[in-house]
Amino acid sequence: EAQVTQNPRYLITVTGKKLTVTCSQNMNHEYMSWYRQDPGLGLRQIYYSMNVEVTDKGDVPEGYKVSRKEKRNFPLILESPSPNQTSLYFCASTSMGGLAKNIQYFGAGTRLSVL
Amino acid sequence: GENVEQHPSTLSVQEGDSAVIKCTYSDSASNYFPWYKQELGKGPQLIIDIRSNVGEKKDQRIAVTLNKTAKHFSLHITETQPEDSAVYFCAALGGWDSNYQLIWGAGTKLIIKP
């Protein structure tokens, strides 16, 4: 089954404690991205990657890091989380070609609370 | 770069009636316009999309219309059912100055009243 898997689904942490949210896709997609969703603000892109070892900033990259060492994985790293990073996070992957070009497949989300 | 505005932010309709959600975009180079549905506790999922070479596309009770001259596109849901209750997002694929990224609307919470 084609899917994007995020872990953990829920996370409560404290300010300054480094954390990583993992994302994995099994569709051999070149493109992956991270979004945060906040009430009234829709989906805002944090970072994206168009292929292995190629990453770029989205609209709200401050306070986040990513890496793309393998095609299937795209972890989101918060080196020193702060309360304003409390949000719902989504990972997505997309094919860059073929009939499914531009269609984004989303994970189930990670709800993060930073105290 | 591309900017997408979506209205209304909340829409409440009686079961069986139609619902219309509208989006406008700013970049005339945009040529792909998807709609996503997000059910409670889940990630968004594509429900229908349209490319700029057509003006309308239908899939059962769902249709999308595109007016490239006016730079707006709309989602139409007919004969609404309780399972249509969700948050709907429109998006537009930006041009070079948006790094060819999908630019998202802020979302519409659709409530179907029984």
Per-residue pLDDT, averaged over A65-72, amounts to: 97
pLDDT in tens, B29-58: 888 999 999 999 999 999 999 988 889 999
pLDDT value of position A38:
93
Reported as a pLDDT band with limits 50, 70 and 90, residue B74 is: very high
Mutate to test the interface with B, among A6, A32, A43 (most CBs of B within 10 A): A43
Decide if B106 touches A, using CB distance below 8 A.
yes
User: By the 8 A CB rule, do B45 and A3 touch?
Assistant: no
**What pLDDT band is residue B7 in, cutting at 50, 70 and 90?**
very high
Contact B102 A104 (CB under 8 A): yes
From the CB of residue A47, how many other CB atoms can be counted at a distance below 10 Å?
A: 23
pLDDT at B34: 96
Contacts of A69 (CB under 8 A, 6+ apart): A52, A53
Residue B3 contacts A, CB cutoff 8 Å: no
